[in-house]
Amino acid sequence: MTENNKTCAVIGAGVSGLGAAIRMRNKGYQVTVFEANSFPGGKCSSESQDGYRFDMGPSVFTMPQYVDELFELSGKNPRDHFNYVQLDPVYQYFFEDGSTLDAYHGKEKFAEQIAAKTKDKVADIIKYLDKTETIYKLTDEVFLKNSLHRLKNFFTWPVAKGILNFGKIGAFDTMAGANQKAFKDSRLVQIFNRYATYNGSSPYLSPATLNVIAHVEIVKGAFYPKGGMVSITASLAQLAKDIGVQINFSTPVKEILIENKKVTGIKTDKGIQHFDIVISNMDVYNSYKKLMPSVKRPAKTLDQPKSSSGIIFYWGIKKEFKELGLHNILFSENYEEEFNTLFARKTIYHDPTIYVNITSKHTPEDAPPGCENWFSFINVPNNQGQDWDMFITEARENMIQKINRVLKTDIRPLIETEMVFDPRVIENRTSSAFGAIYGNSSNNKFAAFLRHANFSKDIKNLYFCGGSVHPGPSIPLCLLSAKITTDLIK
């Protein structure tokens, strides 16, 4: 690390903000992170109640190499600070007809296990996964590792190759359309359609390009960080401190200071501080609205339709369910109507698909002996002023009834502690505009090109990172966002 005596402010200690801070420190900058909360991580945080610990936000972990890379960049062995195990199976799926399917790691193993229980053949499933791998290879360099907003990046062979093969990435079909053509069994279609929810979109509207997520999770693998998802945040925050980054908690930024179209610093309740570079990890919509209200906002970009949000019940359950794993999905019977309800009618569906994450399966101390910590999540529309208190009451009853019906149990008397998040709480806690967890939705074929750039085209030395800008949401994409952003800074 060569010191350069220049200074950088990072607004927000989310995963991407921490990644950007670590990278800027390794460039020799004096880096200060300003975090409104009293804890790091943004959405990737943790809470405990009545002997139960819960990861509050992201719960699926892929591409761990992007976390490891930050330790290696800082001259440290990642295994001394952060560890994880590969999952197999990755998911357990439950359907209203009483059937179950397990999603195993690896192309052949996944195909063999699924074919044994569905109408589809091993060869057809492998052919589909080969297609998702092709999409991955064609889009990785184009969309995930480079800025789409620098003309020179389009004059490299990997990017040119991706553009020349644009027709092969599924951009002109929907996820649901492609999956219905690929499979005979409606359950398998539903499993692959589900990946649209990873960025808060509808498989009936978003491009088949997003089927690439299946390759990442099934073939490349999903992992469990030892100690839960919060260990990602904790280890990166500690790494940042170890290499000299200053993190100021409970210090919300009030304004980004700009003179003559150039950043000069930031303002907090403690006063004005001058910086050479400012990187905002705050949701880009709120970065403009709250921190730069006098700056002309890029309305066409910021006013794109927003992603879905969620209602989450964090339940302490006084029983162990042997049939459940770490990641569990209880599917809606009418998936298309569920998404239509979310995105067209902006309300909640009476038969929601439920995701249940139980970290005590891998970290027993997350729950008292004989108990489990359930992160119980349903997709809901973002906040447009709906009656969320009523929705929470309805959602709780619908979810309990569905869980009881599918698992043939009664969880109502087993719930001994409960916390609830809804879009209002999510927005207040994470500054996500409208409580939209994933920023803009991907409900059109050009969504990847409509995300905000990782830099300001009008204000010098102002940059953006995180799930609301390029390349998008999820922990690996947020870490890649940090890399793209800091690579733009010479």
Q: Inform me whether the pLDDT recorded for 252 exceeds 70.
A: yes
Q: Inform me whether the pLDDT recorded for 55 exceeds 60.
A: yes
Contact 9, 276 (CB under 8 A): no
255 forms beta bridges with 267
User: What is the pLDDT at residue 34?
Assistant: 98
Which one is predicted more confidently, 153 or 408? 408
Averaged pLDDT, 340-363: 98
In whole angstroms, what is the distance from residue 376 CA to residue 215 CA? 25
Q: Inform me whether the pLDDT recorded for 353 exceeds 70.
A: yes
**Secondary structure class of 454 (helix, strand, coil):** coil
| Residue 346 token pair | 């902006």
| Residue 101 token pair | 């399917």
| Residue 451 token pair | 């995300």
Q: How many helices (H) and strands (E) does the chain have?
A: 15, 20
- Strand 372-380 versus strand 309-317 pairing type: antiparallel
Which range among 72-86, 162-176, 438-452 shows the weakest confidence by mean pLDDT? 162-176
Averaged pLDDT, 350-370: 98
Q: Inform me whether the pLDDT recorded for 465 exceeds 70.
A: yes
pLDDT bin (cut points 50, 70, 90) of residue 151 is low
In whole angstroms, what is the distance from residue 352 CA to residue 395 CA? 8
Residue whose entry in the numeric block shows the structure tokens 């609830």: 420
Q: Across the chain, which distance is largest between two alpha carbons, in Å?
A: 66
Q: Inform me whether the pLDDT recorded for 164 exceeds 80.
A: no
Q: Inform me whether the pLDDT recorded for 155 exceeds 60.
A: no
pLDDT digit string (tens) for 416-437? 999 999 999 999 999 999 999 9
In whole angstroms, what is the distance from residue 362 CA to residue 376 CA? 17
Averaged pLDDT, 230-239: 98
Percent of the chain with pLDDT over 70: 95
User: What is the pLDDT at residue 447?
Assistant: 74
User: What is the pLDDT at residue 448?
Assistant: 66
**Integer CA distances (angstroms), 203 to 7, 192, 467, in order:** 43, 9, 19
Is the pTM higher than 0.85? Answer: yes
**Annotated domain spans of the chain:** 123-217
For residues 432, 434, 437, 439, the Cα torsion angle rounded to the nearest 10 degrees is -80
User: What is the pLDDT at residue 3?
Assistant: 81
pLDDT bin (cut points 50, 70, 90) of residue 141 is confident
Q: Inform me whether the pLDDT recorded for 157 exceeds 80.
A: no
Which range among 116-125, 165-174, 327-336, 429-438 shows the weakest confidence by mean pLDDT? 165-174
**Secondary structure class of 51 (helix, strand, coil):** coil
pLDDT bin (cut points 50, 70, 90) of residue 162 is low
User: What is the pLDDT at residue 159?
Assistant: 61
In whole angstroms, what is the distance from residue 108 CA to residue 96 CA? 27
Number of other residues whose CB lies within 10 A of the CB of residue 134: 16
In whole angstroms, what is the distance from residue 454 CA to residue 153 CA? 14
Number of other residues whose CB lies within 10 A of the CB of residue 415: 16
User: What is the pLDDT at residue 167?
Assistant: 66
Q: Inform me whether the pLDDT recorded for 154 exceeds 60.
A: no
User: What is the pLDDT at residue 165?
Assistant: 63
